[in-house]
Amino acid sequence: MSLRLAPALALVLAAAAVCASNALAQPAANERAASDPAPVSATAQRLFDRSRNQIVQVRTLLKAQGSQASVGSGFFVSEQGHILTNYHVVSQMALAPERYRLVYRSVDGQEGALQLLAFDALHDLALVKATLDAPRGALRFRPQDEALAKGERLFSLGNPLDVGFAVLEGNYNGLVDRSFYPSIFFGGALNPGMSGGPALDGQGRVVGVNVATRRDGQQVSFLVPSAPAIALIEKGRDAAPITTAVYPQLTQQLLEHQADLARRFLAQPWRSAGNARYDIPVPQEDFMRCWGRSTPSDTKGLEYEHSQCDMESRVFVSGALSTGSLTVRHETYDGRKLGTLRFANRYSKSFENEWFGERGNKEITPPQCTERFVDRDGLPLRAVLCLTAYKHLKGLYDMSVLVATLDQNEAGVQGRLDARGMSFDNALALADHYLQGYGWKRSAKE
């Protein structure tokens, strides 16, 4: 949720337009508000006053002209000038230090340069350091053995939409269900520009770091828990500044992530899709979420059922690339109302219209695909396997495998597995695991 200037301006203008519209539509309500102002939250006011010297805006500037490319937030975690923020807030400078530089701006207007010391892309965290004339103090973390209670009041600090420093109230709602890495569900309104700011408990102790919000919901935001933040601080506190592009370190972190992801996924048995004829691979929902839909019951043409399972979290690399995730989907088709020829035409086009990447992409190479016919214990399958390589993240690939059953003239199943950011060996292992998930239902074969 770092903020780029053009979207910021659009959002500010949109907000102003909404406020003006509401003011015209509801003058009575505004008059009541003016005469009976909302009570000030004493806790929020106290925490902001206590923490104002420790929160900053983190800016990415173009070196050539000094103008802002993006902004986020951060907070001091040591007397020596260490500041914690999100990796995505500093990613432009981390990937292209010859083009960008980092600076901070405090609530009282003090500005200074920042050095990147360490980052954890998997948890979207970064540790930077400022050169200070005088210590500004540091926020302290809530002890790990003091668990948060569901509904506990939290206070998020940052600089939303580049309009000024703010404190926003919300609630702790536990950890996000089915998240690959622990993520706190914050019932509050984080906005772009607040990324990297601290979330405090009622005593002013850090419990998490602002990271993201759901654009399709309200008051649904997310925090990075404090444990990985503390670990990064300890790891990077005495590190030398990073002055070259971080692709080697980023690649190593992503290789570790994909190894863990593949290991956990391959260890899980497939779930049943509930199909009467076939075994169709459907993943467990430990760290994926599955949705389905079907054609209406009175459909006169091709009937189908669709299922798609996704990891809802990805590893942010840059504004143009996120990776480290899995998607599994399938469609069952019933074309008896179409007849053999019309069904064959629709079924074939559905298979051939699949997308496997684009030429000219600056992040990945064009896909390399191979097509084969596979026998799964007597069940004939048509399978296409495609791999694309990452140009800057050596040894990582996106893999897609597309499958279609071929045993019926007027019905069938098509399925697809997409694995992003995998090693070559793990990509092939996942493809084989997926193909092994297809087969006859025992009762259908008998």
pLDDT digits (tens, 9 = 90+) for 342-382: 999 999 999 999 988 776 688 999 999 999 999 999 999 99
Domains of the chain, each with CATH number or no CATH: 5-243 (2.40.10.120), 250-445 (3.40.1000)
* Span 207-224, average pLDDT: 92
Q: What is the model's pLDDT at position 55?
A: 98
Q: Rounded to an integer, what distance in angstroms lies between the CA atom of residue 403 and that of residue 407?
A: 13
* Span 90-108, average pLDDT: 97
pLDDT at 45 over 70: yes
Beta strand spans in 163-302 (E) = 166-175, 184-187, 198-200, 206-213, 221-225, 278-279, 289-294
Q: What is the model's pLDDT at position 218?
A: 84
Q: What is the model's pLDDT at position 11?
A: 30
Q: What is the dihedral of CA 109, 237, 322, 74, to 10 degrees?
A: -20
- Give the residue among 313, 44, 291 at the shortest CA–CA distance from 185: 313
pLDDT at 15 over 50: no
Model confidence at 204, pLDDT cuts 50, 70, 90, reads very high
How many Cα atoms are found within 13 Å in the side-chain-facing hemisphere of 90? Answer: 35
Which one-letter DSSP state was computed for residue 176? P
Given the structure tokens 């790990």, which residue do they identify? Answer: 144
Return all residues near 412 (Cβ < 8 A) that are at least 6 apart.
332, 333, 347, 404, 405, 406
296-346 pLDDT, tens per residue?
Answer: 978 889 999 999 999 989 999 999 999 999 999 999 999 999 999 999 999
Q: Rounded to an integer, what distance in angstroms lies between the CA atom of residue 435 and that of residue 156?
A: 46
Given the structure tokens 């006859």, which residue do they identify? Answer: 440
- Is residue 75 within 8 A of residue 84, CB to CB? The reply is yes
- Is residue 292 within 8 A of residue 315, CB to CB? The reply is no
- Is residue 124 within 8 A of residue 88, CB to CB? The reply is yes
